């Protein structure tokens, strides 16, 4: 399982960051947080009383929100492309 996670991370960084080694780009960080949020949300659907995971989920959502706010202020076109690619806004 850890190799699948590492493979998935490198795939996300390659798709959103430009290269596999570009782990610091805002787009790649947001995409990685979105993947983690989806994974924890799926876990919480089965384990409704897992409150520590729920708190972690809320922290990740807040962190993603702040990164999206930063991106929208500094690169509006990139922000719009990213939310469309990730399907965040309806």
Return the H-helix or E-strand segment holding 22: none
Distance (Å, whole) CA 56 – CA 23: 22
List CB contacts of 62: < 8 A, sequence separation 6 or more. Answer: none
Query: In this predicted structure, what is the pLDDT of residue 19?
Result: 87
Taking residues 49-60, report their average pLDDT.
Answer: 96
**What CATH number does the domain containing 28 carry?**
1.10.287.10
pTM, entire model: 0.90
Number of domains in the chain: 1
- Domain, as residue range, for 78: 2-86
Query: pLDDT at residue 7 above 50?
Result: yes
């Amino acid at each position: 399982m850890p190799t699948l996670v590492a493979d998935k991370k490198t795939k996300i960084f390659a798709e959103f960051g430009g290269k596999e080694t570009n782990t610091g780009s805002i787009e790649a960080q947001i995409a990685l947080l979105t993947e983690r949020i989806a994974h924890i949300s799926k876990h919480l659907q089965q384990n409704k009383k897992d409150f520590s995971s729920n708190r972690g989920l809320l922290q990740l959502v807040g962190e993603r929100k702040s990164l999206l706010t930063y991106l929208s202020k500094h690169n509006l076109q990139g922000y719009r492309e990213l939310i469309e690619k990730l399907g965040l806004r309806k």
